[in-house]
Structure 1
Amino acid sequence: MVSSSVPRPEYPRPQFVRTDWLNLNGTWGFETDRGDSGLARGLTDRELSDRIVVPFCPESELSGIGDTDFHHAVWYRREVEFPAGWAGRRVLLHFQAVDHDTTVWVNGTEVGRHRGGFTGFTVDLSGVAGPGERAVVVVRARDAKSGPQARGKQSTEYANHDCDYTRTTGIWQTVWAEPVPEVHLRRPRITPDLAAGAFHLELPLSANRTGHRVRATLTDDAGTVTTAEVRADLDLAPRLTLAVPEGRVREWLPGDPHLYGIRLELLDAAGAVVDAADSYAGLRSVSIDGNSLRLNGRRVFQRLVLDQGYYPDGVLTAPDDAALVRDIELSLAAGFNGARLHQKVFEERFLYHADRLGYLVWGEFGDWGCNGYGPDGDNQRPDPSYVAQWLEALERDYSHPSIVGWCPLNETRQRITDDITVLDDTTRAMFLATKAMDSTRPVLDASGYSHRVAESDVYDSHNYTQDPEVFGAEMAGTYVNVGERDAPWSLPYRGQPYFCSEFGGIWWGDGDESWGYGERPKDVAEFHARFAGLVSVLLDDPSMFGYCYTQLTDVHQEQNGIYRFDRTEKLDVARIRAVQSRTAASERA
C-alpha cells in the first residue's frame, strides 16, 4: 500500500514479497537530542519540534534537515493507523536500517531495540497495536561521535576529509509494516545446485501447527516448472528441493541472468493457504580450481569496480530506485561486470537489480575503525555487535545469485607478532561465522593487508602505484603492501585464487580540495594511457582471477571516479570500456 507522494515507494524486500504491506516513509516528527537527554525530558510522550522526510538521514538535503554536524541522538515520531482489512493477523513493523543504536516504542511501550547501522530489524506489535488500531511510533537512534563502531566511511571529524565522508544518523532506509498470520513463513534460504539442476529451499517458520505443510512452485516464462511439498509440523525450518527438468535448466550468468520465480505457500491441515510470498532465484555455482575462481564451472574474469554507494543529496540513501539501477548501468557501460560493494551493506533493492541485470557482487561490511597498530590501538577494541550485524547481513542476502563472494573486513592494520591478538581472534571469528552461514561462496578473510586466516578461500592486495611499469613489477609475484615488504602483515600466500581488489584511483577532478592517488595526470590523454597501462598489467597476469578498480564515482573530495559524484560523464567511457573488453590471460588458460 503506497501513496504516489511517498518517497522511496518501492517494495523494500524484493526476494520475499507479500501482497499486503504499508510503506511508512514520508514526513515524521523529528528532534535532535545533542545531549542524549531526551528520555529524561519526556520525548517518548510529546510531539517533536521539527519534521523530517523518512527514509533520508538528517545530514542529507533530501531529509529537509541538512544538518551535517554530529547528532548524539535523534528522535522520530509518527502516528499510524493500520488497515482494518488486516484483521485476524498480527502486525510486523520493519526498519530496513537505522544508524546506530535504536530503541522503538509503540503506544508508550518499548517494543524493540537494535544495535548496528547497516542491517535491519523487525518488531512484532502483538498486544500493542493491531489492524484497525492507532499506533504512535517513537524511535530514538543514538550515534557515537568516535570509538570503535561499524561506521564504514563515515567521518569521525566534523568535516569530510581524505576518504571519509558525511555521516548518517538515524533512519536511512524504508520503514514499513505488514500483516502476518500467527504461524507464518519467514525469509527462505535458497541454495542453487547447478550440478544437480535444482534449488534447495530452507523455509523457516514462526512456529508449527499439526497438519501444516509448505509448498514451493518454481516458474519460468513458460509457466510452472515444478512443485514440491513437505510437512511443516515437524521442523522449524522445513527443507525441500525443486528439481528442474533437463529441458528447463537455464543458468544465471552475466549477459544472461535468468531468474526463476518461486511461489511459497504455507498450508493448513485442510489444504487452505495460510500464508504466501513470492521469491526468485538464479541457478549458478561458484567454485575454486587451483588458483582459478570459476562461475558455473567456467573462468569469468571479474572486472569489478569499487562502489561506495554515496549520493550528493541522499548520503547513503539513493534518492530513488532508478538511481540504484543507474549506478549498475553506468558500471556496465564502462566495461565492468561487477562491483565490490565497499564499506557498506547496500540496501536490498540494489542486489535485486544486480540479480536481474547479471551484475557480479562482493558483499562487504563497514570498518569499525581498526587503525591502531599497538596493543592499545582500536584493533584491540572491536565492537562485539560487529559480528552480530555481519550475521544479519549474511542471513538477509544469502539467496541473491549476484553475490559471488564475501569479505567481512577491510584493511585491518596490525603486524603479526608472537602473541595472538584481538585482531587475530576477530578476523578468525568473522571468517568462521561467514563460512558457517554460507558454504557456497568463497570468503576473503580481510581485504588488503592483514591476511590472518590460513584457510582463507581467496587472497588479495591493494596497490595504488600509478606508474604502470612499476605497478607491473610490483604485481609480478604476490604483492602484499608497498613499503611494508619486511613487515609481517600477513600469513604467507598459499596458492589461493588471487586478485588485486583495489588499484587505480587515478586523480582526475576539479578544484584544489580534491584528491586521488598519485599525481594528477596533466591531461585526459594521460589519464587514459595510465588507466590502460594499469588495467593491462592485471589482464595480462594469468594468476589473476579479477581486479577491482577504484572507483565508480567521485565521492565528495575524493575525485578519482570514472564518473562525477552527480553521475555525469567526465571521461571517454567508450575508451574505458574498450580497454577492459579484451580477453584476460586467466580466461585463456
Structure 2
Amino acid sequence: MEHYDWNDGWLFAPVFTPALVQPDRAEELTPVRVPHTVKPLPYNYCNENDYQRLSGYRKEFFAPKEWEGRTVLLTFGAVAHDATVFCNGRRMFHHGCGYTAFTVDLTAALRLGQKNVVAVRCDSREDLNIPPFGGQLDGLTYGGIYRAVSLDIKEPAYLRDIFIEAKAEGDFRIYSSTVGETVGCTLQAEIRSPSGSRALYQGELSLPIVGTLNGVHPWSLEHPSLYTLTVRLIRPGTNGLPDRVLDERSTRFGFRTLQFVAGGLYLNGQRVELRGLNRHQSYAYQGYAMPDSIQRLDAQLLKKELGCNAVRTSHCPPSPAFLDACDELGILVFTEMPGWQHLGDDTWKAQALQNCREMVCQYRNHPSIFLWGVRVSGSADDEAFYKRTNETVRRLDPTRPTAGARSSRKSQLLEDVYAYNDYSYRGRGPGCEARGNVTPDTRKGYLISEFGGQQFPAKAFDDEPHRLAQALRYAAVLNDSIAQQGVAGSFGWCMTDYNTHREFGSGDRVSYHGVMDLFRNPKLSAAVYASQKTPRAPSDIVLEVSSGMALGDLPGGIPVACWVFTNAESVRLYRDNDFVAEFAPDRRGRFAALPHPPIEIQDFVGSLLEKYEGLDRAAAPQVAAILNEMRRDAMELSPLSRARMLSLRLSAQELLRMYYKYIGVLGSPTSVYRFEAVWHGRAVKTVIREPVQSVRLECTVHNPILTDGPTWDCAAVSLRAIDQNGNLLPYCSEAVQLSVEGPVEILGPSVVPLRGGMAGTYLATTGEAGRAVLHCKMEGALDTEAVLTIRCREESRA
C-alpha cells in the first residue's frame, strides 16, 4: 500500500484539444498546482462567462515495474464540473458532478517502466445537463481541479469503503465493501480512543462487525470527542506463513445519537437549539480553489468568532477539510445535494441521484453531519424523484434524518424534517411564520433553513442606520425562531458575501447578503451572532456598538437608535468621563428569547443633570426622560412631556439649551463616549467613540504559519482602517498597496481598495520554506507589515 499526493506537476491548457491527452504531446502549457481555478476573477464586476470553458489538465509520471500485479487508483477530490480522465490517450472515466470525489482505476492503461500521461478534460460550462445547471443560479460555479488529487497503489483486492454506526452508549456496527478476489479473507477493526487506547474486533466480509465499546466519550458540541476506526483486509497465511494485510482504511468518527422530532433536535438526549448560517464555499478571486487551511478557517470563524453551533453547506457537499474542522470544533452540519431550484430531465435526475449516493458514502462517517439534504434547494415537489432520493439516502445511512430546503408552504413532505426558507420578516411583526401554517405534518421536525439575505442586504460601506437595520432583523428572526415551540433553529442567509450572476446581487456581481464580506471581515450583523456565545473568560466578551456617535452620519443630524450587541452582564456608559447610566439586557422585551439580547442605549443623560444643573433627585430623572425622548423622536415632544415641562416650570428655551448640551445637534461640541462591558462585576472590555484623530492600517494574518505540502498553502489576511481607539472607519476607501518578500505570492491584485473600511488578500506558498513578510502601504497611515512562517512537508511522489 503506497499513497502519493498528486497536487504538483500539473500542466494547464485554457482550451482543451484532443491532442492534450496523447502521450507524446509537446506543447507550451502552463504549470499549475492543485487546487486550481480555470480563471481567477476580479472582486466585483466579474464576468461569469470567463470561467465557462472546456479546458484541460495534463500530468506526466513514471510508473515503476514494481507496480506489476497491483492496482493503481487515482482520486480527484472534486473537478468542476464535468470531468473525463484519460491515461496514455485512453479514455478511462467520466464523472458528472463538480462537488464529490471520484476514483479512476488506471491499472489497465499503464506502461510500466515508462513515462505515462494522465489528462483531464474539464468542462465548466453552465449549459451542462447536470446539477446544479439548467436554470438561473444565484452564485457562481467556477471551474477546475479545485480539491486535492492523490494516487494509491494497492493489491488487486482492497477495501473500497468503510462505514461505522456508533451510538452515544458505545454500541457500534461496522460495514465494509471490497473490490477484487477476497475469498478466504477476514476483517480486523481497530478503534482508537482520543487517549490512545485501542480495541480490536474480528469480522467476516459478508457481515457487519458489531460490538460495544465501554466508557466512551460521546461526541457533542461542547466536547467533540473523536475516535479513529481502522479496518484491515487480511488474507490468512498458509503453510506456516503469517497473515498478510492486503489493505487498510482509516476514518475518524464520533459516538453520538441523533433524534429529530416535532420538539426539535436532540443530540445524545439533550435538545440543541440550532443557531447557524449558510455557507458558500467560494472566495474572492479564487472561486472554489482554496487549500484545506482556508476551508478549515471558515469553520473556526463560524464557531469561535460568530458563535454558531451549526452550518448549512449551500448548496452542495463541502470540502472534506471543512467537515474535518467541524468534527473537531463541534459544529453541526446540514449538507445537501447539489442544485438550486431547477429540476431537469431524466438524465439530469439520474445524475442527481448519483450525486446523493456519492455525498452520503463519502461523508457519512463525519459526526458533525446531522442532516442530509435530499431535495434540490427551493425546487418544486416531484414525488417520484424525491421518493428515490430519500430511499437511497436512508438505505446508505439509516442513522441520520433527511430534509430538503423549500420555499413554499405545505409542500409535500417525504423527508423527516421540513426545512423552510422563511423570508417573511419585513422589519416588523413576527420574525418568522408560524410552524403550523407552513409544514403539512407537525409531528415531524421543522427548522428554518434560510432567512434574511435578499430581504435586506447590507454592504459594509452602507450608512449607519442601514447597517443597524440589518443587524436588528437578524436578531428578530433568531429570537422568534427560538421563542416558537417546535422550531429546531434557524440558518441565516448567509455567512459571507459572494460573487453571483448578473440576474442577482447588486449589479456588480456581488450578493451582499452576508454577515461578513468576501474576505470574511465582519459586518455589524456578525455581532448579533457573536454576542450569543456563552463567555467563559474575559476574552470571550463581545462589545459592538452600532453607532459611531457622529451626528452628521444620521438623517437630519438627529441622533437616533444606539444598540450594543454584547454577551456581557451589563454595559456602562460614560460621557466625557462622567458616568451616565448602566444598562442590562431587557429580559421581557423584543429580544427576550435570545441568550444575550442586544441592549438599546436609551438614556444619554443619566445623573448628569444633578451634577451639572443642580436639579434635585425628583426633577432630574423627569427632565432626563424628556431629553431622551426628544433624542429618540427627532426633538418632538409628547403630550406627557409637555405636561411634565409645565409641572417642572421648565421653559422651552431652557429645555433646548440642555438638549444642545447633553444630547447635541450638528455644530455642537463633540463629546467622548465610553462604553464598558461588565462581566462578573468588573469592566472587561471598552469601546470609545470620539472624533477621529489618527488613522491606522491594521493587518491581521489569520493563519501566519503555513505548510507547503501536500499542496500549496494559503494565508488569509484582513485589512482594516481604524482610529486611535481601534474603531473601524467604515467610510475609509483608500487603496492599500501590497508587496511581499519571501516564498509567498499575492493572489489577486497588489493594490486593493478598502470597502467599508475593510479589505483583504490571500498569500499562497510557492513550494519553498522560509520567512515571508507582507508590506502594506496606505495614504494617511503609517506603513504596516505582517510576518509569516512557511514550512515544507516532505512528501512522497510518483
* Cα distance in structure 1, aligned partners of 2:101 and 2:486: 39
Q: Give 3-state SS (helix, strand or coil) of 1:350's partner.
A: helix
**3-state SS of 1:475 partner:** coil
Paired residues for 1:112-127 under 5 Å:
112-127=93-108
Cα displacement (A) at 1:407: 0.8
2:481 match: secondary structure: helix
Distance in structure 2 (CA, Å) of the matches to 1:524 and 1:369: 30
What amino acid is the match of 1:363? T
Q: 1:78 to 1:276 in 2, by over 3 A?
A: same
1:569 maps to 2:516 = no
Q: How many residues align?
A: 516
Residue of structure 1 equivalent to 2:716: none
Q: Determine if contact 1:286/1:294 at 8 Å carries over to the other structure.
A: yes
From 201, 204, 214, give the equivalent of 2:187.
214
Do the aligned partners of residues 133 and 179 (structure 1) sit closer, same or farther apart at CA in structure 2, a change above 3 Å counting? farther
Is 1:478 the equivalent of 2:428?
no
The answer to whether residue 178 in structure 2 is matched with residue 205 in structure 1 is: yes
Structure 1 residues 133-532: aligned runs within 5 Å: 133-146=114-127, 148-151=129-132, 164-195=138-169, 197-232=170-205, 235=206, 238-245=207-214, 248-270=215-237, 271-318=243-290, 320-332=291-303, 333-367=305-339, 370=342, 382-414=348-380, 423-449=382-408, 453-472=412-431, 475-480=433-438, 492-505=440-453, 506-510=456-460, 522-532=465-475
CA contact (8 A) 1:535 1:579 kept: no
TM-fit CA distance, 1:21:
1.6
Gaps of 5+ in 1: 1-17, 157-162, 372-377, 417-422, 481-490, 513-519
Match of 2:6 among 24, 32, 36: 24
SS at match of 1:444: strand
1:140-179 alpha-carbon deviations (Å, 9 max, x no partner): 1234432643137x996xxxxxx73333223222122011
CA contact (8 A) 2:300 2:325 kept: no
- Relative distance call for 1:559 and 1:379 in structure 2 (3 A) is farther
Structure (1 or 2) with the larger CA radius of gyration? 2
Cα 1:173–1:315 change in 2 (3 A) is: same
Cα drift, residue 67 of structure 1: 9.0
Instruction: Tell me the TM-score normalized by structure 2.
Output: 0.60
Deviation at 1:528, TM superposition (A): 3.0
Given that 2:219 and 2:225 are in contact with CA atoms closer than 8 Å, whether structure 1 keeps it comes out as yes
Conserved in 2, the CA contact under 8 Å of 1:73 and 1:141?
yes
Matched, 1:578 2:559: no
Go from structure 1 to structure 2 and tell me whether the alpha carbon gap of 1:580 and 1:260 turns closer, same or farther (over 3 Å shift). Answer: closer
Structure 2 portions without partners, runs of 5+: 238-242, 500-509, 535-566, 568-590, 596-798
CA distance in 1, matches of 2:419, 2:283: 28
Q: Which has the higher contact order (CA 8 A, sep 6+)?
A: 1
SS at match of 2:179: coil
Q: How much has 1:573 moved relative to structure 2?
A: 4.6
How many angstroms apart in 1 are the aligned matches of 2:162 and 2:219?
A: 19
Change (3 A) 1:450 1:543: closer
Name the SS for the 1:500 alignment partner: strand
Normalised to the residue count of structure 1, the TM-score between the two structures is 0.79
* Deviation for aligned residue 1:493: 3.2
CA RMSD of aligned residues (A): 3.2
Distance, in Å, in 1 between the alignment partners of 2:320 and 2:33 is 20
CA distance 1:231–1:434, change in 2 (3 Å)? closer
Find the aligned partners of 1:535 and 1:150 in 2 and give their Cα distance.
Answer: 31
2:329 and 2:230 mapped to 1: Cα distance?
Answer: 21
Contact 1:101–1:115, Cα closer than 8 Å, also in 2: yes
Secondary structure at 2:403's aligned position in 1?
Answer: coil
Relative distance call for 1:534 and 1:231 in structure 2 (3 A) is closer
- In structure 2, relative to structure 1, the CA distance for the partners of 1:466 and 1:209 (3 Å cut) is closer
Matched, 1:57 2:57: no
Shift of 1:360: 0.4
Q: Deviations over 1:503-538 (max 9, x none)?
A: 1224221579xxxxxxx8724433333322221111
Q: CA deviation at 1:117?
A: 1.5
- The offset of 1:547, in angstroms, is 0.7
Measured in 2, the distance between the counterparts of 1:223 and 1:72 equals 49
Deviation at 1:564, TM superposition (A): 1.3
Question: Aligned partners of 2:529 and 2:326: how far apart in 1?
Answer: 21
Q: Distance in 1 between matches of 2:190 and 2:121?
A: 42
| Residue 186 of structure 1: how far off its partner (Å) | 1.9
Q: Distance in 2 between matches of 1:342 and 1:59?
A: 22
Query: CA distance change for structure 1 residues 446 and 251 in 2, over 3 Å: closer, same or farther?
Result: same
Give identity over the alignment, percent: 24
Match of 1:14 in 2: none
* Residue 355 (structure 1) shift: 1.0
Q: 1:379 to 1:212 in 2, by over 3 A?
A: closer
- Bigger strand fraction: 2
Does structure 1 conserve the Cα–Cα contact (< 8 Å) formed by 2:81 and 2:96?
A: yes
